[in-house]
Each structure stands twice: as C-alpha cells, then as structure tokens.
Amino acid sequence: MEEETELASSNKSWVVSAVGITLVLFAVSALLGFIIFPAAEGRESESLWASICRAAGLPVSSTVNTEGIQGTKVAIANAVPSIPPGESIGRGATLAQQCAICHGPTGVSRADAPNLAGQYPTVTYKQLRDFKDHVRVSAVMSPFAEHLTEENIQDLAAYYASLQRIELKTAKPGVAAPTIVVSGAPLRGIAPCGSCHGAIENKLGSPWLEGQSVVYLRNQLEAFAQGSRRNDVNEQMRNVARAMTQEEIEAAAQYYASKPHPPEI
C-alpha cells in the first residue's frame, strides 16, 4: 500500500539556489579568511597583497641563514644494493688496509675509533659520504674519506658488513640496562634507544652501538647534544641527545660499551 510519488519535472530553481548559496558561502568565508582577518592581524608594513599571499600559505623566502647547516646528502633508502656485486667485498678489503691502523685489521678497533666489523652497510656508506661531503666533521677521520670515490665507499661498506662481529675483550656482561635505554624518557620525547638501534627494532641508518668504546659513545652523544655533529636525518639523534641529562649520557655510553655481543644482522 505504498503511495506513489511523482517527480517534479523542473530542476532549474534548485540549481540556481544551490549553486548561488554555495558561491555566497564560499565568497564570504574567503573574504574573511584571506582579506579581513589577515589585515586585522595588522602586521605593519605589509601590503594587502602580501597579507593575502600569507593567508594562502605562499612561503616567503626565509631570512634565516641556512649556510653551513646543510644536512646529509645521502638518501638512505636505496644507498646500497641489497646484495653487493661479487668483487665489491674484495676491493673493499684492499682499500680497508689504510683504515686498519685505527679501525683495526678485523674492523675491531684497539684505539677509541669506532668498530666497523658487521656494521650495517647503509650506516658505513652514509657516514663515509657524510665525512666526504663535510656534513660530519672529524679532524682525525675526515682526511681519510676525502679522496674516496663513490665506488670505494660502496666497496668499503660491503666489506665491513661482511666481517664477523667477533667477541669483544672490553665486554663486561651484567651491566644492567639503564631506564633511558629501556624506556627512553617519554615526557621529554625520547624513544627507547633500542627502538632505532636494535633490540626492539632496527631503523634504517641507525648504527648498532654494542661494544663501541665508552669514549666514542660519550663523544658522539655530546656532539649531537651540542650540535657539533649534525648529519643525522631530520635531527633524529640530535633531538634525543639534546634532551638527555649528563648522567643519562654516561649511563647509556657505559651500558652499550659493556654489551658483549653485537647482535647479528
């Protein structure tokens, strides 16, 4: 017993009023949003046109001096091939002889230079490129990266990745993980170190830290905190280090230095 309903034939008045109302609403809100409110904010010496551009979101060229604070030029996502070409590791081994005095003949340093054996190839590649591009600076290390070619760097990354992460003599098992490593400090926006550096998750480009020397770890954290090292993508590591206390830096450095076995890749 449904009632049949007919259709009215003409649509015209609906079209006119619907389009009309929409246009008026848009015009009014645009007038308010682009002209009246920005002008009312009253930035002196700003022309009407400039305030409209500002409301539209047109970026003005920044007056901040960005010279010298360029970040890394490396795109880490596809920095290194997932399987290096066959001869790469061999060529890398030859090149690595010049590095051995500091980084050790097996990629494990006896000085306080970082261990490279078993480091992720992306990390080694990125750090060498950053040294070469002067984005990361070290009086000791930089000169050795200067003359390396793109192919050299690829080969070195492949070579060090292929080395065993051998047992370290510095290992002191049993140092309890400090809170900053396990939980980070959420109130200060610090994620647990392991959410990038392994143990929880490995984020591409984050080096493993286990077994590096205390001195090296502490120096790097301090360099990030003070901004003298600034090659980390999107300031990921500087944001962490800046918010850490001196005690936390010390505790994290001691902990990672004491870890016996770097996890396998």
Partner 1 sequence: MLHSRKLILAHFWLAFIAFGAALLLGAWQMFVRSPLSGWISNPEWYYRSLTAHGTVMGYVFPTLVAMGFGYAITESSLKQNLIGRRWAWAGFLLILMGSVVAMVPVSMGLASVLYTFYPPMIGNPLYYIGVVLVVVGSWIWVGLMSINLRIWKKAHPGEAVPLAMFANVAGSYLWAWTAVGAALELLLQIIPVSLGLKSTIDAGLARVFFSWTLHAIVYFWLMPTYIAYYTIVPRAIGGRLYSDTMGRISFILFLVVAMPIGIHHAFADPQVGAGFKFIHSAFTALVALPTLLTVFTICASVEIAARLRGGRGPFGWVTALPWKNPIMLAVAFSFVMLGFGGAGGLINMSYQLDTTIHNTQWITGHFHLIFGGAIVIMYFAIAYDLWPHLTGRSLGSEWLMRTQLWLWFIGMIITTFPWHYVGILGMPRRMAFFDYTSPALQPEALSVAISAFGGFILVISGFLFLAILYRGQFGERNEPGSYSFAQALHMPQKVPAALNGYALWVALMIGLTVTNYGYPILQLALRNDTSVPAVYVGVQ
Asked if 163 interacts with ligand HEC (CB under 6 A), we say: no
Asked if 140 interacts with ligand HEC (CB under 6 A), we say: yes
Please work out the total of residues on this chain that contact partner 1, with binding judged by CB under 8 A. Answer: 55
The torsion angles phi and psi of 28, rounded to 5 degrees, stand at: -65, -45
Beta bridge partners of 197: 202
Asked if 187 interacts with partner 1 (CB under 8 A), we say: yes
> Which residues between 60 and 119 bind partner 1 (CB under 8 A)?
75-78
| Only segment of 4-12, 110-118, 147-155, 223-231 that touches partner 1 (CB under 8 A) | 4-12
The tokens describing 140, both together, are 């000791």
Cα–Cα dist 63/204, whole Å: 33
Instruction: Give 168's Cβ-side CA count (13 Å radius).
Output: 28
Which residue number, 51 or 103, has a Cβ lying nearer to ligand HEC? 103
Residue 183: CB minimum distance to partner 1, A? 6
Residue 231: CB minimum distance to ligand HEC, A? 5
Rounded to whole angstroms, the maximal C-alpha distance in the chain is: 96
255 burial type by CB count under 10 A (0-12 exposed, 13-18 middle, 19+ buried): buried
CA distances from 18 to 7, 21, 251 (A): 19, 5, 67
Cα–Cα dist 262/202, whole Å: 13
b/e map 43-61, b = 16+ CB within 10 Å: eeeeeeeebebbbeeeeee
Residue 62: CB minimum distance to ligand HEC, A? 24
Question: CB of 210 within 8 A of CB of 262?
Answer: yes
Residue 63: CB minimum distance to ligand HEC, A? 28
From the list partner 1, ligand HEC, none, pick the one residue 103 interacts with, judged by a Cβ distance below 5 to 8 Å according to partner type. Answer: ligand HEC
Asked if 156 interacts with ligand HEC (CB under 6 A), we say: yes
Interacting residue with partner 1 among 20, 24, 30, 134 (CB under 8 A)? 30
The tokens describing 250, both together, are 């010390």
Interacting residue with partner 1 among 182, 222, 239, 243 (CB under 8 A)? 182
Which residue number, 4 or 146, has a Cβ lying nearer to ligand HEC? 146
Residues that bind ligand HEC (CB under 6 A): 98-99, 101-103, 113-114, 116, 124, 126-128, 138, 140-141, 144, 156, 180, 190-191, 193, 195-197, 203, 205-207, 209, 217, 219-221, 231-233, 236-237, 240, 252
